[in-house]
Amino acid sequence: MASRNGGRTVALSRQLSLAHDELRRLINDLKSGAGHRRAGDGTLATHCLAFCSALETHHRGEDDGLFAQLVRERPELAGTVAKLVEDHGLISTILTRVTELARQAADAGGRGPEEAVRRELDGLAAVMESHFRYEERVIGAALDRTVPDGDWPEPVFRPVRT
């Protein structure tokens, strides 16, 4: 029988936190303008679209991989996972709005809608932070302490890429 404090699930918890840290860094860079200034192209819209795609990919990976396997291992966490998936839907709605505004800003040559993009990013960052903290606390604890390593048949976590 696998250890209840197994290395693989603890590693998954750590990877989850690291992915969230990277997404936090990316949105903070995006909000401050550092990401697109570093890249040298000066376009908030382009980097905003890349960030939105990375966050959506991260959440899809959680929903289809990590969360699905976690519920198979720990069915009593189904309600918690459902709440997190619901949060992903809310965040996706915000990302749709950010993407729409970023495209408008790109079409306008970066003028006008960029301020609206920045306001939406501020709101998104606040929602993300609340979601990430809850997820790290609840899912991280489940992975670290109560989920046996078992024989998880597929990769359940995909790293963030931008």
Within 13 Å and on the Cβ side, how many CA atoms surround 71?
A: 14
CA 130 to chain centre: 12
CA 5 to chain centre: 25
Instruction: Specify the residue for token string 């939105």.
Output: 52
- What is the model's pLDDT at position 44? 76
Query: Chunked in runs of 10, what are the mean pLDDT values of the chain (162 residues)?
Result: 49 86 93 60 76 92 88 90 96 92 76 78 95 93 67 50 53
- What is the model's pLDDT at position 45? 78
- What is the model's pLDDT at position 24? 95
Q: Convert the chain into a string of H (helix), E (strand) and C (coil).
A: CCCCCCHHHHHHHHHHHHHHHHHHHHHHHHHHCHHHHHHCCCCHHHHHHHHHHHHHHHHHHHHHHHHHHHHHHCHHHHHHHHHHHHHHHHHHHHHHHHHHHHHHHHHCCCCCCHHHHHHHHHHHHHHHHHHHHHHHHHHHHHHHHHCCCCCCCCCCCCCCCC
- What is the model's pLDDT at position 48? 86
Please tell me the pTM assigned to this model.
0.79
Domains (range + CATH), the chain = 7-146 (1.20.120.520)
- What is the model's pLDDT at position 42? 52
Largest CA distance in the chain: 60
- What is the model's pLDDT at position 150? 57
